[in-house]
Copies of this chain bind each other. A is one copy, B any other.
Amino acid sequence: MKFKNYSFIFVFVFCFVLTTCAPTQKEELDLGQVRQALEEQNIIYKEAVLQGDASAAAAVYTEDATLMPPDSEIIQGREAIEAFWRTEWTQMRVTDFNLTVEDLYGSGDIVYELGKYTIKVQLEGQEPIEDNGKFLVISKRTADGSWKWHVDIWNSSMPAQ
């Protein structure tokens, strides 16, 4: 009988400790795995840009993502981002586009990538324009476990005209 009493207390305390630990326990982020997911995302994005497919480009962003393009106000939300790219790509065709990630780091449910881009665009009846610059993208883990771009900002590295 004595044995049974102690077991009960023991099991109770054991469960209590486990439960107390659980809410603050976090999975360590597997950055290798995230890097791979984001590399695939970058390929999808690049294709969307080259195809001028605003809907496919917008799909890489979270629902409430923030786009911060140069010479523009902040664009808030996936729907507005899609409209922004649609307008841009009606006016120009991107003939070449490349992203090179130079640093990736994250913790918890956010990861940032910073790197460089090169782009070549063709505006109707004009000479092609080339630009190169840098970007910083913060991705966020969404409810379904996938990673989506949550904040996206870039600027040119070419000297001001």
Contact = CB atoms under 8 A, between A and B. Distances in A.
B68 A134 contact: yes
B17 A25 contact: no
A154 interface: yes
Contacts of A159: 71
A64 to B, nearest CB: 10
Contacts of A106: 108, 110
Nearest to A6: B6
- Number of copies of this kind of chain in the complex: 2
A73 B66 CA distance: 24
A73 B21 CA distance: 46
A21 B10 contact: no
B66 A103 contact: yes
A156 B71 contact: yes
A107 interface: yes
A118 interface: no
A18 interface: yes
A82 to B, nearest CB: 20
5 contacts: A14-B17, A21-B21, A71-B160, A107-B108, A107-B110
Interface of A: 2-3, 6, 9-10, 13-14, 17-18, 21, 24-29, 66, 68-74, 102-103, 105-110, 112, 114, 116, 134, 136, 138, 151, 153-161
In order of increasing CB-CB distance, the 7 nearest A-B pairs are A107-B108, A21-B21, A70-B155, A71-B160, A155-B155, A108-B108, A6-B6
